[in-house]
Amino acid sequence: LQGRLGDIFDKLTKRGALSEADVNEAMREVRVALLEADVALSVVKDFVKKAKEKAIGEEVLKGINPGQMVIKIVHDCMVEMLGSEETAINLKAVPPVAILMVGLQGAGKTTTSAKIGLMLKKKERKKVLLASLDIYRPAAQQQLEVLAKQAELTSLPILFGEQPVAIAKRAMQEGKKGGYDVVILDTAGRLHIDEKLMEEVANVRDVAKPAETLLVTDAMMGQDSVNVAKEFNEKIGITGIALTRVDGDARGGAALSMKEITGAPIKIMGIGEKIDEIEAFHADRVASRILGMGDVVSLVEKAQETIEQDKAEELAKRVMKGQFTLEDMLEQLNQIRKMGDIDGLLGMLPGIGKMKKQLAEAKVDDKMIARQQAVILSMTIKERQNPKIIKASRRQRIAAGCGLTVQDVNKLLKQYQQTASVMKKVGKMNKKGLLGKMGAMM
């Protein structure tokens, strides 16, 4: 927006750009926070570098100090990194679709297998078969059987002495025969990564050809998360991550490490021991927790809202003085488009109740607003500030300038006049000190 009003808004909203020194200082704090959250060191370095590039030169909002601004940018950067991809479990394959669960021992594979099975049954009405390939830990296969019963899901009958690859084969055959949509294969873990485990899981993968290979990982995991993610991704190939124990105290830096290393989206969060304690991944929540600066983030978000409000109030003040011009209308249309919520914005402006109704009646949409803006934009500043001078020849020129018809220009001017006359009344009321009673009238 050019012109007077635009300048006022700029002064209201900006405090200048973030300098490299501002950013460096705040990043020291960010680095400590990330390390405390157990984000792996190499990931911290990469992430800080990326966030720094984003932050330098950004405008600082009014009411916010540079450090706070940096933290908000870092937060948004992290949300984007954690959650920019599809989080739905991929079932786009010929059924039975195999889901392979991999990870270290105790990560939560067996529990999460049952949770995902139950979720797919309940939410997507899928017929799910569970199969445990964990022949090493005593009673591991029975554990899945018990969980399957709780979830009222079928588990593949256990055959004593059968090897993992053979179990996987039988599970897929049974899946086909029994008309299952999904077969979830729960593999064995080890305390640490070893070659034998990887080889076995790779063989299972070749037999089952899973559409989804989920790395199950504990949110409380520390620096080791990088090695685990790397190994599993290189040897098996990961399509998604299931993050467990999100209900615990840990800040969950492992999520960021794993995502950065594998590039695979986090798809699922385990939030408790019970089989229905599972959620789709919420990047925003996890980012706030990793950064541990939720207060600052909401402070900045509030400031962003306040700026919208400041602009609205500034406009309202001008309205009160009876100074509503086409430039003001242009700004108003700008705000409407930006906020995408006509009710929300107009609710903040006194005296616009009537216009709000008109807009609603006219079924105002984004395209229409864009056309109205185009009309105003092809007027000269003089015309915008003094619409009375817009006579026939000017209307023709304006229409040609924005590629619309003279009727469109007429319509816009009529709408402006209606709005301006409402504004004038409001302004008069204000002068008579009737402002307090206005709420009731709108």
Residues engaged in binding ligand GDP (CB under 6 A): 103, 105-111, 189, 216, 244-245, 247, 270-273
Q: Is residue 125 classed exposed, middle or buried when 0-12, 13-18 and 19+ CB atoms within 10 A define those classes? A: exposed
Rounded (10°) CA dihedral 10, 13, 18, 22: 140
SS3 391: coil
SS3 420: helix
Q: Measure the CA angle with vertex 382, ends 381 and 384; round to 5°.
A: 65
Write the Ramachandran bin of 340: left for phi over 0, alpha for psi from -120 to 50, otherwise beta: left
Q: How far is the CB of 291 from ligand GDP (least distance, A)?
A: 21
Residue 5 contact partner, candidates Mg ion, ligand GDP, none, CB within 5 to 8 A by sort of partner: none
Q: How far is the CB of 305 from ligand GDP (least distance, A)?
A: 34
Question: Do 221 and 252 touch, CB atoms closer than 8 A?
Answer: no
**What are the backbone dihedrals phi and psi of residue 259, each rounded to the nearest 5 degrees, phi first?**
-65, -45
Q: Does 249 count as an annotated binding residue?
A: no
Which residue has its beta carbon closest to Mg ion? 110
| Residue 86 one-letter amino acid | E
Q: Which is nearer to ligand GDP, 51 or 156 (CB)?
A: 156
Residue 350 contact partner, candidates ligand GDP, Mg ion, none, CB within 5 to 8 A by sort of partner: none
Question: Do 13 and 60 touch, CB atoms closer than 8 A?
Answer: no
Q: Does 396 count as an annotated binding residue?
A: no
Q: Does 70 count as an annotated binding residue?
A: no
Residue 273 contact partner, candidates Mg ion, ligand GDP, none, CB within 5 to 8 A by sort of partner: ligand GDP
Q: How far is the CB of 186 from ligand GDP (least distance, A)?
A: 7
Q: Which is nearer to ligand GDP, 42 or 150 (CB)?
A: 150
Q: Which is nearer to ligand GDP, 126 or 245 (CB)?
A: 245
Residues in a beta bridge with 214: 101, 240
Residue 245 contact partner, candidates Mg ion, ligand GDP, none, CB within 5 to 8 A by sort of partner: ligand GDP
Residue 347 contact partner, candidates ligand GDP, Mg ion, none, CB within 5 to 8 A by sort of partner: none
Q: How far is the CB of 129 from ligand GDP (least distance, A)?
A: 18
The Cα 235–Cα 220 span in angstroms is: 23
Q: Does 380 count as an annotated binding residue?
A: no
Residue 67 contact partner, candidates Mg ion, ligand GDP, none, CB within 5 to 8 A by sort of partner: none
Q: How far is the CB of 134 from Mg ion (least distance, A)?
A: 5
Task: Spell out the residues 6+ positions from residue 150 whose beta carbon is closer than 8 angstroms to its own.
Answer: 114, 275
Q: Does 104 count as an annotated binding residue?
A: yes
Within positions 108 to 127, which residues make up the interface with Mg ion, using CB under 5 A?
109-110
Q: How many CB atoms lie within 10 A of CB 286?
A: 25
SS3 269: strand
Q: Which is nearer to ligand GDP, 255 or 346 (CB)?
A: 255
Which of 185, 197, 216 is closest to 106 using CA atoms?
216
Which residue has its beta carbon closest to ligand GDP? 270
Q: Which contiguous run of DSSP H or E holds residue 241?
A: strand 240-244
Q: Which contiguous run of DSSP H or E holds residue 326?
A: helix 326-339
Q: How far is the CB of 107 from Mg ion (least distance, A)?
A: 8
Q: Which is nearer to Mg ion, 109 or 395 (CB)?
A: 109
Q: How far is the CB of 93 from ligand GDP (least distance, A)?
A: 24
Q: Which two tokens stand for residue 168?
A: 């996987």
Q: Which two tokens stand for residue 348?
A: 């903040």
Provide the greatest CA pair distance for the chain: 93
The Cα 339–Cα 311 span in angstroms is: 12
Q: Does 61 count as an annotated binding residue?
A: no
Q: Which is nearer to ligand GDP, 93 or 139 (CB)?
A: 139
Q: Which is nearer to ligand GDP, 78 or 216 (CB)?
A: 216
Q: How far is the CB of 108 from Mg ion (least distance, A)?
A: 8
Q: Does 246 count as an annotated binding residue?
A: yes
Residue 106 contact partner, candidates ligand GDP, Mg ion, none, CB within 5 to 8 A by sort of partner: ligand GDP
The Cα 54–Cα 48 span in angstroms is: 10
Q: Does 190 count as an annotated binding residue?
A: yes
Q: Which is nearer to Mg ion, 277 or 313 (CB)?
A: 277
Annotated binding site for GTP, which residues? 103-110, 186-190, 244-247
Annotated binding site, which residues? 103-110, 186-190, 244-247
Interface residues toward Mg ion, by CB under 5 A: 109-110
